[in-house]
Amino acid sequence: MNLNEAIAKYLRVLAVEKGLSEDTIDSYRSDLALFCRTFPEKQDTEDCYAYDLTEFAIAQDNASMAASTVARRLSALYRFFRFLSDEGLMEAPPDHPSRPKLPKRLPVALSFEEVEALLDQPDTDNESGARDKAMLETMYACGLRVSELVSLRLSDVNAKARIVLIRHGKGAKQRSIPISSFALEYLQDYIQGFRAENPGKKSAEIFLNRQGTPVSRMYFWRQVKKYAEMAGIDKDVSPHTLRHCFATHLLEQGAELRVVQEMLGHTHLSTTQIYTHVSSRRIAEAYEAYAKRK
């Protein structure tokens, strides 16, 4: 659903069903409009994630807003996200934010070995497994949002240049991301193999279910959960975890923060800086484990 349409629907609910005053509704409208201006790439409810609460808090904190103001805006965004979740328009947001600062809980980041174990789970001898393998490899190789992944089109992939064009949201800035030859191989195998026999083979979207329609975000979310369990990963893994891993692993390998920001499509550098905390923590943990062995 278009994000502005969802906001308008939510405000109507506040007025009609909740009976809130006009001043209170205006306050909600202002806070949600600020969220949209802060993240202009978010044009649809499918572009919204629970972790946006943290990213919004960081942006507000960096703007030197009063803690009480940030707390109120976070509360408004949280309640809106709860509404979207109840309507089935997004995954459930986290617990109500109690502090307008960067929370201690950082994004879940898997090790290289854990990512490899996760990506190795799909059975590529059948259609769903070959498709899921291509989706997992593409998402991790390019750091895509799940909404970007499921809407990826055949025309967005330049195999010769090894470039993927990301069209995120209506009217939002496009970005080109390199894709590894390893991931591209699985992507092409699926396109030229099982997808070529799919009922929806003439569709623009790459990733299709057996009925020939694009794979849904929620379906892929369930598949990632299943593969993580099969891999024996005892962490709260979701499709967005692979995007976190993409950023964290790039920084650990020495990539510049601005480059990672561009590849992720972040509007604010402060959002990308979250991953420097993750990579630093992982390096410290690795050293601690090394020291104990010594």
Residues 36 and 117 in one domain: no
Q: Alpha-carbon distance 24 to 81, whole Å?
A: 17
Q: How high does pLDDT run on average in the chain? A: 84
Q: What pLDDT is recorded for position 56?
A: 84
Interacting residues of 49 by C-beta distance below 8 A, sequence separation 6+: 90, 91, 145, 240
How much is the pLDDT for 132? 97
Count of domains forming the chain: 2
52-93 per-position pLDDT tens digit: 887 788 777 666 677 778 888 888 998 999 899 888 888 766
Whether 248 is in a domain gets the answer: yes
pLDDT recorded at residue 44: 86
Give the whole-angstrom CA distance, residue 35 versus residue 130. Answer: 38
Could you report the per-residue pLDDT of 89-110, keeping only the tens digit for each?
887 666 665 544 444 445 677 8
Same domain assignment for residues 189 and 124: yes
* Helix or strand holding residue 166 (H, E): strand 163-166
- Please report the pLDDT score of residue 123 as a whole number: 96
Which amino acid, 289? A
Q: Is the model more confident about 288 or about 106?
A: 106
Percent of the chain at pLDDT exceeding 90: 45
- Find the CATH number of the domain harbouring 77: 1.10.150
Q: Are 141 and 245 members of one domain?
A: yes
Active site members: 145, 170, 240, 243, 266, 275
In a domain, 138, yes or no: yes
Q: Is residue 101 part of a domain?
A: no
Q: By the 8 A CB rule, do 177 and 143 touch?
A: yes
Asked if residue 97 belongs to a domain, the reply is no
What pLDDT, on a 0 to 100 scale, did the predictor assign at position 187? 97
**In this predicted structure, what is the pLDDT of residue 236?**
85
Same domain, 116 and 221: yes
Q: Which of 279, 282, 285, 275 is nearest to 240 (CA)?
A: 275
pLDDT, average across residues 37-62: 81
Model-wide pTM > 0.75: no
Can you give the pLDDT at residue 192? 96
Q: What is the pLDDT of residue 198?
A: 97
Range of the structural domain that residue 44 is part of: 3-86
pLDDT at 212: 95
- Cα 161 from Cα 166, distance rounded (Å): 15
Cβ proximity of 235 and 262 under 8 Å: no
Same domain? 69 vs 180: no
How far from the centroid of its chain's Cα atoms is residue 154's Cα? 21
Read off the tokens for 262: 């561009």
